[in-house]
């Protein structure tokens, strides 16, 4: 899309000598203040006190040819110890970049990655995991990055060199391109170097380079050489220049190195480059007047927006309203389960109207549920009435900007249905821009809906700068310059075009179109651009002419291979991946197949492919594959959620748990997930509020878990009495530990001492026998020494809800560590359950068939349904299909549910 660009981010290389093979290395998150994190201090202590692995070279080399960036990160380390050591390599790369190569050079032998179809690579990965080997993964890392992290065991007095390459098309945002290199070597490096070579045939208009960590003393080390069309930037501090102080081992190199630049734009037609049978057209004509816009702001005010989110939204809206031009028309829709408007029609952005709108914005209060469908339908209705009344100019640009933090749970709640309703209502007459606030929002739903309506989605991260993020996004779309932009090329001369029609071009952005020539010897063709301007049509025509390679790129060090072809391939794959999400069923299938084929052809690691690297075989290990993946947005969001289930360590890398999962959550819903059987069982327990049930009891291990139910505040109009777990008692007799967990706090008792943790804080409590981790208002992880782990999830309910109140969910991890005698409503399933399902037939609900289940020597009638697993999404949950056992689980559980009722929270009878 025009108006969208990508910040290029690189992460500095981190080598950490492990204390022993398989040691867990924990690194600090982006948002943690420097110096405040115990994990960071641990890393620094390791890397300064144990210098048996020396990192002697770190080089980041970025070449940019016509906005296409090719980055190579090379780092070398030497194991100076008399025994083998584990060496770690970590680098953060832009989440819009594609890894194209990774290799390791060890003792004169090179181990190179091979890009394979993701499913084939996954099988290889799972085979390695099943034998306890190491598998390297790409993980989410911060707002704009994902972390590539691998490790390798190096023999005594040997060295290793890691080489990672990735590519990305830089996108223009607010009038500039930006390359940001995040450098955190964590120790002094003998040869440290950041080098960037930029070549832009249009000419470089301006360029700036600086570092957040660079003091006045280091500033002269930033060397810039900028001529008309090329730039060379370097930063190469010596070891002494890297030191925090004379004689100390601490390094100053800790922060961001940034390069910002733009190119000259003299031609209205833009710049067209033809090289080796491929062309690329950069279109961002200079000196265009802005087009008036019609904009409706649709603001979520549901209960989940309470507190800081609502405050930041109001603050951002006040600034955004100030930035409206007087020839713009605007409206405001606010929504929870009720839809409200500032005015029933669009209003001209005069000083008086803007002032009145600000007053309205300041009165917005959070409340109720989330009716996204109703709110968008209202916004479209306002926009269409304005068009019919012809209040605004015919050449204006119409857009709706939606801000929400949650899932639709009022009105139409089916997200595919909402997408269809919005697409039908808009009819291609306006654009939709969606801002997803926070990490609980269904971003995929918003992303697809935006692209279906010629807009884009952006995640707004919770944090002190959320107001700035909202304002920044608005600036990107605040000044449309052209609408209905069509770029035409001769059909008989050009094929395999990337998208060549854009709904609008925004100030400070750029449209990029690439294609393939039917004849490689073709050296010119006609290019035409048609668009609507504020007062008249924009029409420009011109001849695109091929230039000799050595004339276009006179100095070979500024280019890399057939970059125009790779630029075309990169852009094509990105757009096919978008079509894979937004097109018809046939379009999705074709786009997926084509994107996969091109990803393999050009060795791009995309969401459809993985890079497999075979590690060297050692005396201690068999050869182990490493898998480099490309995260989808859903995968990235799940990884970034502060969820309670932490990925398990396999060797030195993370994998998601694939073992059975047992939990109780909701009303209360008991769930047994069995991945090996690709199925799940579930049942409910209905009893009066206040009942205490035994969930887990292991007499040999001395573990007891009981839960007490609570009811709604009052009986709902339909007369149904909902019950949930509101209190848990956890006992480990051997360790002398007792925990009481309520919806308000966590009380810990051990050896006559007592401590209390509050849900309102993120906190931890560590002892020799016990480790508690509280994530604020979300989850509690309980780890008992040499035993099981439990996770308790807190569900926060809108305080003014007429019926519901806060409740708890209970999940078990590492349940295989308990003895064979473990029992309880959950515990009895920890060592598996055998069942068979047959005779599937229609049920009362057409979407939920019935079947016969053979389990524990009985035949039960069961129903296919869904329950929610809240491990990843505490707020909305994830639907998991399961076979539902009726009548309080009778026939599946041993005995009757009343057999599990206890007389007290810490009682066994």
**Cα angle value 763/744/666 (rounded, 5°):** 105
Residues 217 and 243 sit within 8 Å (Cβ to Cβ): no
More confident residue, 727 or 834: 727
Tens of pLDDT, residues 460-489 = 887 778 888 889 889 999 999 999 999 999
Q: Closest Cα partner for 673 from 867, 889, 420?
A: 867
Which residue shows structure tokens 């390094």?
A: 251
Is the CB of residue 186 less than 8 Å from the CB of residue 47?
Answer: yes
| pLDDT tier at 625, thresholds 50, 70, 90 | low
Joined together, the tokens standing for residue 710 give 């609570």
Q: Are 496 and 515 in contact (CB under 8 A)?
A: yes
Residue 680 · residue 661 · CB < 8 Å: no
877 or 777, greater pLDDT: 777
264: tokens are 């000259």
* Assigned token pair, 580: 């894979």
Q: What is the mean pLDDT of residues 14-22?
A: 28
- Please provide residue 458's backbone torsions phi and psi, each rounded to the nearest 5 degrees: -145, 135
Sign (positive or negative) of CA dihedral 276, 282, 286, 288: positive
Nearest to 58 by CA among 219, 253, 240, 218: 253
User: Does the pLDDT of residue 861 top 70, yes or no?
Assistant: yes
DSSP secondary structure code for residue 631 in this structure = -
Domain limits, CATH 3.40.50.410, in the chain = 293-478
Chain centroid to Cα 29, Å, comes to 14
Ramachandran assignment for 10, one of left (phi > 0), alpha (psi -120 to 50 degrees), beta (any other): beta
Residue 23 has pLDDT above 50, yes or no: no
293-478, superfamily in CATH? Answer: von Willebrand factor, type A domain (3.40.50.410)
Tell me the pLDDT tens digit for each residue of 112-153. Answer: 888 888 777 766 655 544 443 334 456 655 666 677 877 788
Full 3-state SS string of 844-889: EECCEEEEEEEECCEEEEEEEEEEEECCCCCCCCEEEEEEEEHHHH
Average pLDDT over residues 754-778: 83
pTM of the model: 0.67
Of all residues in the chain, what percent carry a pLDDT higher than 70? Answer: 84
> 528-553 pLDDT, tens per residue?
999 999 889 999 999 888 776 666 66
**Residue 98 CB contacts under 8 Å (≥ 6 apart), including other chains:** 166, 167, 168, 570, 573, 599, 604, 605, 606, 630
Question: Measuring CA to CA, which residue among 67, 61, 511 is closest to residue 281?
Answer: 511
Q: What percent of the chain stands above pLDDT 90?
A: 44
pLDDT digits (tens, 9 = 90+) for 25-42: 212 122 223 333 322 222
Instruction: Among 183-187, 299-303, 812-816, name the one with the lowest average pLDDT.
Output: 812-816
pLDDT for position 638 = 60
Please determine, for residue 421, whether its predicted confidence score (pLDDT) is greater than 80.
yes
From residue 649, how far is each of 22, 789, 800, 809 by CA, in Å? Answer: 9, 15, 42, 24
CB 573 within 8 A of CB 514: no
Instruction: Band the pLDDT of 404: cuts 50, 70, 90.
Output: very high
The whole-number pLDDT of residue 462 equals 79
User: Does the pLDDT value for residue 647 go beyond 50?
Assistant: no
At residue 615, does pLDDT exceed 50?
yes
* Euclidean distance between CA atoms 153 and 615, whole angstroms: 9
pLDDT digits 0-9 by tens, 294-328: 999 999 998 888 888 888 899 999 999 999 999 99
Q: What is the mean pLDDT of the chain?
A: 82
Which of 12-16, 328-332, 622-626, 677-681 shows the lowest per-residue confidence on average (mean pLDDT)?
12-16
Confidence tier at 282 by pLDDT (50, 70, 90) = very high
Q: Write the DSSP symbol of residue 203.
A: -
Please name every residue paired with 262 in a beta bridge, in sequence order, or none if there are none.
206
Q: What is the 3-state secondary structure (H, E, C) of 127-175?
A: HHHHCCCCCCEEEEECCCEEEEEEEEEECCCCEEEEEEEEEEECCCECC
Per-residue pLDDT band for 187 (boundaries 50, 70, 90) equals confident
pLDDT bin (cut points 50, 70, 90) of residue 12 is: very low
3-state SS class at 355: helix
> How does residue 111 score in pLDDT terms, banded at 50, 70 and 90?
confident
Of the candidate ranges 154-158, 184-188, 631-635, 815-819, the one whose mean pLDDT is the lowest: 631-635
Non-local CB neighbours of 56 within 8 Å, separated by 6+ positions = 76, 77, 78, 189, 190, 191
Is the pLDDT at 648 greater than 60? The verdict is no
Q: Is a pLDDT exceeding 60 seen at residue 447?
A: yes
Q: What is the DSSP letter of 438?
A: S
Give the residue among 291, 313, 366, 362 at the shortest CA–CA distance from 335: 366
858/729 Cα distance (integer angstroms): 33
What is 53-263's CATH topology? Immunoglobulin-like (2.60.40)
- Residue 512 scores a pLDDT above 90: yes
How far apart CA 194 and CA 177 sit, in angstroms, is 18
Question: Helix, strand or coil for residue 636?
Answer: helix
d(CA 295, CA 909) in angstroms, rounded, equals 64
**CA 4, CA 874: separation in Å to the nearest integer?**
31
**Do 819 and 788 meet the contact criterion of CB atoms below 8 Å apart?**
no
Cβ proximity of 165 and 93 under 8 Å: no
- Spatial distance between the Cα atoms of 844 and 645, rounded to a whole number of angstroms: 36
CATH 2.60.40 in the chain, residue ranges: 53-263
Q: Is-contact 6 95, C-beta < 8 A? A: no
**E strand or H helix at 421, and its extent?**
helix 415-426
Provide the token pair at 122. Answer: 């996954």
Query: Could you write out the DSSP letters of every residue in 679-695?
Result: EEEEEE----TT-EEEE
DSSP letter at 803? Answer: S
* DSSP three-state, residue 720: coil
- What is d(CA 117, CA 602) in angstroms, rounded to the nearest whole number? 13
For the stretch 198-225, pLDDT in tens is 999 899 999 999 988 888 888 899 999 9
What tokens appear for 128 in the block?
């390695």
| Contact criterion met (CB below 8 Å) for 780 and 847 | no
Residues 6+ apart with CB under 8 A from 507: 175, 288, 290, 478, 479, 480, 481
The pLDDT-based confidence of 897 (bands split at 50, 70, 90) is: very high
């Amino acid at each position: 899309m025009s108006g969208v660009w990508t910040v290029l981010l690189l992460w500095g290389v981190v080598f950490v000598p492990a204390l022993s093979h398989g040691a867990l290395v924990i690194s600090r998150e982006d948002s943690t203040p420097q110096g405040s994190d115990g994990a960071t201090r641990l890393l620094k202590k390791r890397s300064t006190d144990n210098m048996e692995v020396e990192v002697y070279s770190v080089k980041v080399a970025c070449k940019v040819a016509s906005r296409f960036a090719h980055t190579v990160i090379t780092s070398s380390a030497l194991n100076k110890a008399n025994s083998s050591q584990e060496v770690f390599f970590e680098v953060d790369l832009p989440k819009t970049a594609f890894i194209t190569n990774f290799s390791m050079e060890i003792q004169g032998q090179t181990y190179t990655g091979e890009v394979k179809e993701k499913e084939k690579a996954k099988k290889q990965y799972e085979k390695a995991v099943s034998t306890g080997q190491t598998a390297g993964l790409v993980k989410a890392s911060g707002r704009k990055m994902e972390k590539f992290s691998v490790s390798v065991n190096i023999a005594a007095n040997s060295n290793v060199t890691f080489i990672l390459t990735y590519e990305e098309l830089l996108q223009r945002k607010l009038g500039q391109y930006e390359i940001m290199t995040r450098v955190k070597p964590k120790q002094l490096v003998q040869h440290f170097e950041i080098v960037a070579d930029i070549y832009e045939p249009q000419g470089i208009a301006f360029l700036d380079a600086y570092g957040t960590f660079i003091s006045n003393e280091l500033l002269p080390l930033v060397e810039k050489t900028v001529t008309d069309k090329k730039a060379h930037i370097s930063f190469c501090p010596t070891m002494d220049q890297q030191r925090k102080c004379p004689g100390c081992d601490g390094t100053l190199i800790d922060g961001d190195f940034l390069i910002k630049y733009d190119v000259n734009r003299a031609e209205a037609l833009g710049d067209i480059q033809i090289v080796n049978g491929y062309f690329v057209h950069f279109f961002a004509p200079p000196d265009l007047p802005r087009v008036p816009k019609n904009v409706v702001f649709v603001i979520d005010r549901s209960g989940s927006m309470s507190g800081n989110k609502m405050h930041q939204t109001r603050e951002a809206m006040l600034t955004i309203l100030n930035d409206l031009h007087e020839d713009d028309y605007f409206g405001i829709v606010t929504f929870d389960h009720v839809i409200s408007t500032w005015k029933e029609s669009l209003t001209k952005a005069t000083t008086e109207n803007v002032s009145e709108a600000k007053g309205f914005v300041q009165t917005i209060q959070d409340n109720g549920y989330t009716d996204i469908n109703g709110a968008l339908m209202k916004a479209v209705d306002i926009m269409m009435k304005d068009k019919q009344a012809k209040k605004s100019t015919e050449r204006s640009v119409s857009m709706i900007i939606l801000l929400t933090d949650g899932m639709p749970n009022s009105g139409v709640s089916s997200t595919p249905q909402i997408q269809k309703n919005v697409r039908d209502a808009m009819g291609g007459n306006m654009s939709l821009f969606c801002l997803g606030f926070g990490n609980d929002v269904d971003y995929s739903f918003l992303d697809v809906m935006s692209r279906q309506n010629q807009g884009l989605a952006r995640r707004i991260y919770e944090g002190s700068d959320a107001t700035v993020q909202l304002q920044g996004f608005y600036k990107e779309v605040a000044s449309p310059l052209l609408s209905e932009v069509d770029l035409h090329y001769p059909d008989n001369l050009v094929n395999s075009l990337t998208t060549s029609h854009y709904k609008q071009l925004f100030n400070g952005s750029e449209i990029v179109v690439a294609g393939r020539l039917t004849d490689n010897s073709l050296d010119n063709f006609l290019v035409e651009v048609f668009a609507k301007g504020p007062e008249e049509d924009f029409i420009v025509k011109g001849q695109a002419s091929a230039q000799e390679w050595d004339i276009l790129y006179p100095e070979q060090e500024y280019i890399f291979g057939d970059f125009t072809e790779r630029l075309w391939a990169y852009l094509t794959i990105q757009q096919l991946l978008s079509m894979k999400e937004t097109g018809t069923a046939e379009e999705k299938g074709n786009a997926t197949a084509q994107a996969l084929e091109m990803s393999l052809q050009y060795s791009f690691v995309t969401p459809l492919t993985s890079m497999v690297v075979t590690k060297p075989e050692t005396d201690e290990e068999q050869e182990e594959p490493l898998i480099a993946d490309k995260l989808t947005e859903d995968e990235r969001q799940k990884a970034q959620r502060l969820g309670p289930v932490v990925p398990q360590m396999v060797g030195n890398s993370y994998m998601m748990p694939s073992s059975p999962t047992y939990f109780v959550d909701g009303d209360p819903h008991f769930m047994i997930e069995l991945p090996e059987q690709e199925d799940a069982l579930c049942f409910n327990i209905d009893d009066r509020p206040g009942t205490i049930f035994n969930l887990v009891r292991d007499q040999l291990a001395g573990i007891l878990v009981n839960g007490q139910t609570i009811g709604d505040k009052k009986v709902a109009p339909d007369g149904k009495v909902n019950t949930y777990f509101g209190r848990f008692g956890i006992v480990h007799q051997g360790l002398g530990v007792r925990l009481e967990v309520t919806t308000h706090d966590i009380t810990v008792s051990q050896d006559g001492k007592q401590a209390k943790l509050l849900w309102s804080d993120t906190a931890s409590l560590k002892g020799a026998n016990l480790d508690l981790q509280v994530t604020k208002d979300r989850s509690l992880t309980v780890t008992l020494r040499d035993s099981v782990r439990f996770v308790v999830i807190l569900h926060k309910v809108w305080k003014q809800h007429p019926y519901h109140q806060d409740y708890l969910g209970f999940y078990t991890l590492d349940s295989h560590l308990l003895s064979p005698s473990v029992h309880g409503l959950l515990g009895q399933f920890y060592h598996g359950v055998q069942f068979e399902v047959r005779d599937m037939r229609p049920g009362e609900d057409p979407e939920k068939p019935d079947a016969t289940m053979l389990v524990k020597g009985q035949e039960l009638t069961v129903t296919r349904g869904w329950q929610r697993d809240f491990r990843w999404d505490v707020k909305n949950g994830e639907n998991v299909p399961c076979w539902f056992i009726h009548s309080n689980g009778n026939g599946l559980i041993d005995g009757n549910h009343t057999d599990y009722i206890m007389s007290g929270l810490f009682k066994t009878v």
